[in-house]
Structure 1
């Protein structure tokens, strides 16, 4: 769920191996390192001839980022669930079907289950006043990436924060290595691009390069 399709991306560091970098998931012939095993690589989700096409094809399957032999279905198939990257026996429902466990991540009042703790839920990243729980620490919460003045903390180190991916000169730390940072190249998540574009049309301002929230917001 963390690696959504994007139209414009450069390369960025692996969240689990600070020295690993991989290119855009939309480069047609590109593969990139697994966030769970730095030596594991898998192809681009955007090249139609590689291992999987669009993540919204209801019959499409693609490999697990944590176990190369594990596969799970499309997040847009209405009745499909797939294994949790944090607990192999945990599964959760499609992110694209409105009747399953959680609908679109851009619904302002929507919450969905945590990939790391099935009882943990957090709200939409696109509602300006909504916060959601950290996937690595259930009591840690941070603000929406689509709120115009918000930055959010690292899911792996509560004291680590980084700025919004929408300000082109902003750098933020690797979620698993506080000393590692990388610049956003374009928009790192298509759904976030859509939400922020909507916010801009409504008169909101995208985040400033100088804004940062260094402390997580506790429940």
Structure 2
């Protein structure tokens, strides 16, 4: 008896292959080399400060976690990806930190250094952390612990924040890839100063991603 695959037309075989392949949004993969252009100090964690055991991540680790986050939140715009990458690189000290140590705000962290309020919201929307976050909601450090122990959640906070907490006009302005759009994102959504240090990381991210 001949195999059914020997008699099916080519178009049918292609359809079978397509249906069996996982659906992945185009343009969501980021590489370690791209990240190293933005965060050249993330090659290794050999010189991690003693105050931050276990917090450091390399460019390779960041690339895997960020690609997962971009897929999860369907962040396909290079301009938006660059904004997220620039933000988390700056806020985490090129991935050396995922807690606020200076001045040390309890519960503030993940790679974009979200406030405890946003971390509680974020954890409540992740199926795997929802119940635990509710149980420890009065202990912001405990909520943060749930998020930073899983790279996907730790690095995914920036993409989550942009796609769910920033208003549509901010996201639309950011889509243009302009400096004014980036400034609006930092000032009107992140709620901080669009200073030169942050701008430099964003500019490198734009170059790295071709935004």
Same fold, judged at TM 0.5 (above): no
State the structure with bigger RCO (CA 8 A, min sep 6), 1 or 2: 2
State the TM-score, normalized to the length of structure 2. Answer: 0.30
Q: TM-score normalized by structure 1?
A: 0.29
Bigger radius of gyration = 2
Query: Higher helix share goes to which structure?
Result: 2
Structure with bigger strand share is 1
